[in-house]
């Protein structure tokens, strides 16, 4: 398994000279910017010589700063967190860049939805006999939130896999009258393609929600909803994904307004019987 630059630094940190450690510390604290720095800029910003930076790169197994930048871009495209405790996240320029990236993500999502695919996915989720929402790793919180919203509008909505359980028992028995909503954001499990194939073999309609790295699976989905997760920070951003969850659940509720209102009223009545919710006043 190829180690990323952070792991290489951690593994050899004790062998580095004090000046090399200084440069390495800067790299670890600013990995989200590593893809744009050359050796001269890294030397200036970390307060060491360019020769020290070049020597550090060679000790870590890189030929030059160009290879390091390419390595950093590859890590970011895979969704690997880049950054460290010293990376400044709250400066005005960082906050402005963050806001602009989030807005751009949302704009890009909304453009792709103009062809009616969101409404088609909502109608499928609304009309299916059973709906199973699958989310693993980073996708699990999104799947959980979608399930919580959909269950307000309809019954027979399940989340899979449950903690400590597997997917087989959740997918068994599903057929063409059911639907699976599969979240597939990057850094997916290695068997993600097998999950897609298993769903399709059973002829279960599939709504696939993921970032652009999952396009290779899009032709196997009944409805493909691509959601940008670009970020200027160390981690992918799921703000736009949460907006998409909101839109999908709202669309499903709107497709069966009377049934949804009846179910919401019934749920509210149970809330009151159990005194589960804090009074709003």
Cα 256 to the center of its chain, rounded Å: 29
Quote the number of domains for the chain.
2
Q: Does residue 243 share a domain with residue 269?
A: yes
* CA distances to 104, 124, 193, 208 from 198, in Å: 35, 19, 9, 14
* CA distances to 125, 189, 229, 236 from 106, in Å: 22, 26, 9, 14
Q: What is the pLDDT of residue 166?
A: 86
Domain boundary among 78, 109, 127: 78
Q: Does residue 109 share a domain with residue 57?
A: no
Length of the chain equals 281
Tell me whether residue 90 is in a domain: no
Radius of gyration of the chain, Cα coordinates, nearest whole angstrom:
23
Q: Does residue 266 share a domain with residue 202?
A: yes
Q: Per mean pLDDT, which range of 81-85, 131-135, 156-160 is the poorest?
A: 81-85
Tell me whether residue 149 is in a domain: yes
Q: Which two tokens stand for residue 137?
A: 């790793």
Q: Does residue 111 share a domain with residue 144?
A: yes
Q: What is the pLDDT of residue 32?
A: 64
Distance between CA atoms of residues 231 and 100, nearest Å:
10
Alpha-helical (H) ranges within 134-238 are 140-153, 168-171, 192-201
Q: Does residue 100 share a domain with residue 71?
A: no
Q: Does residue 14 share a domain with residue 128?
A: no
Q: Does residue 112 share a domain with residue 174?
A: yes
Average per-residue pLDDT for the chain: 86
CATH of the domain at 36: 1.10.10.10
88 closest CA partner among 41, 31, 47, 24: 31
CATH of the domain at 155: 3.40.50.10490
pLDDT in tens, 254-279: 888 788 788 878 888 888 888 877 87
Q: Does residue 266 share a domain with residue 191?
A: yes
Domain boundary among 49, 78, 107: 78
Structural domain including 63 reads 5-78
Whether the model pTM is above 0.85: no
Distance between CA atoms of residues 210 and 214, nearest Å:
6
User: 62 in helix, strand or coil?
Assistant: coil
* Local confidence band at 95 (pLDDT 50, 70, 90 cut-offs): confident
Beta-strand relationship, 157-160 and 206-210:
unpaired
Q: Does residue 170 share a domain with residue 144?
A: yes
User: 112 in helix, strand or coil?
Assistant: helix
Q: How many CA atoms lie within 13 A of 250 on its CB side?
A: 7
Instruction: Decide if pLDDT at 89 tops 60.
Output: no
* Local confidence band at 115 (pLDDT 50, 70, 90 cut-offs): very high
Sheet holding 131-135, edge to edge: 157-160, 131-135, 179-183, 206-210, 223-226
pLDDT in tens, 128-156: 999 999 999 999 999 999 999 999 888 89
Distance between CA atoms of residues 72 and 66, nearest Å:
10
Per cent of the chain over pLDDT 70 is: 90
């Amino acid at each position: 398994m190829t180690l990323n630059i952070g792991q290489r630094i951690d593994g050899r940190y004790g062998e580095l000279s004090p000046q090399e450690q200084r440069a390495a510390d800067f790299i670890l604290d600013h990995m989200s910017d590593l893809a744009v720095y050359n050796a001269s800029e890294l030397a200036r910003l970390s307060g060491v010589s360019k020769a020290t930076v070049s020597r550090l790169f060679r000790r870590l197994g890189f030929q030059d700063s160009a290879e390091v930048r390419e390595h950093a871009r590859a890590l970011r495209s895979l969704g690997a967190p880049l950054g460290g405790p010293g990376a400044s996240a709250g400066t005005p320029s960082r906050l402005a860049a963050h806001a602009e990236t989030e807005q751009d993500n949302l704009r890009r999502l909304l453009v792709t939805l103009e062809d009616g695919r969101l409404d088609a996915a909502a109608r499928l989720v609304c009309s299916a006999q059973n709906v199973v929402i699958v989310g693993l790793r980073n996708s699990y919180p999104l799947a959980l939130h979608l399930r919580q919203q959909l269950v307000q509008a309809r019954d027979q909505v399940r989340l899979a896999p449950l903690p400590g359980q597997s997917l087989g028992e959740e997918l068994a028995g599903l057929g063409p009258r059911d639907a699976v909503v599969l979240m597939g954001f990057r850094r997916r499990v290695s068997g993600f393609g097998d999950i897609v194939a298993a769903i399709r073999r059973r002829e279960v309609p599939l709504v696939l929600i993921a970032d652009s790295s999952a396009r290779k699976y899009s032709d196997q989905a009944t409805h493909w909803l691509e959601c940008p997760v670009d970020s200027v920070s160390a981690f992918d951003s799921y703000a736009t994904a949460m907006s998409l969850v909101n839109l999908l659940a709202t669309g499903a509720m709107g497709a069966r307004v009377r049934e949804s209102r009846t179910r919401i009223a019934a749920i509210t009545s149970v809330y009151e019987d159990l005194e589960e919710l804090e009074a709003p006043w």
